[in-house]
Amino acid sequence: MTVLEEVRVVHTVVPSPLGPITLVSHDGGLSALLLQSSKYEAVQGPFGERADDEFDEVQTQLHEYFAGTRTQFDLPLHLVGTTFQRRVWEGLLRIPYGQTRSYGELAAEIGLDPRTSSRAVGAANGRNRIAIVVPCHRVIGADGTLTGFAAGLERKRFLLGHEAKGRPREHLLF
């Protein structure tokens, strides 16, 4: 018989320009960044005890991101998903700030055939629970349209617009 060690799960809720964000950590790794009114409603779930003081670095980096001074996060992550989902999420982490990819382009970048894998990549993208930090908002439709975002397309538009600020017009994301 295998005895599993207990995992410490804690959370906090922080303000943001997108509304309250619930942050969840598993053993010190960020495992969720949930926006209220998303498919992962911030008030649901066993998020463990509230531990506001354990999220100082996450809060600092989010503040810097929204202030426009941080373009890449440097946080310990606790990615919970299938091997395929984790492969897609790791691909998301390689999309540079201010750039977008289509589902097919992301599929190709992680070594898959975009003709047969775009939908599976889209499904895995939609299961990402660490929005913003694992930048699923940077994936758009092949024709450049904004598609699915658990927290709503208006928030996806906000994030893409935020990342496009200060860029020459010909380099805007949409």
Q: Which residues are tagged catalytic?
A: 136
DSSP string, 2-30: --PPPPPEEEEEE--TTS-EEEEEETTEE
Q: For the stretch 6-33, what's the b/e string if a residue is b when 16 or more beta carbons lie within 10 angstroms of its beta carbon?
A: eeebbbbbeeeebeebbbbbbeeebbbb
What b/e readout covers 139-171, taking b as 16+ CB neighbours within 10 angstroms?
A: bbeeeeebbbbbbeeebbeebbebbbeeeeeee
75: left (phi over 0), alpha (psi -120 to 50) or beta: beta
Distance CA 140, CA 149 (A): 10
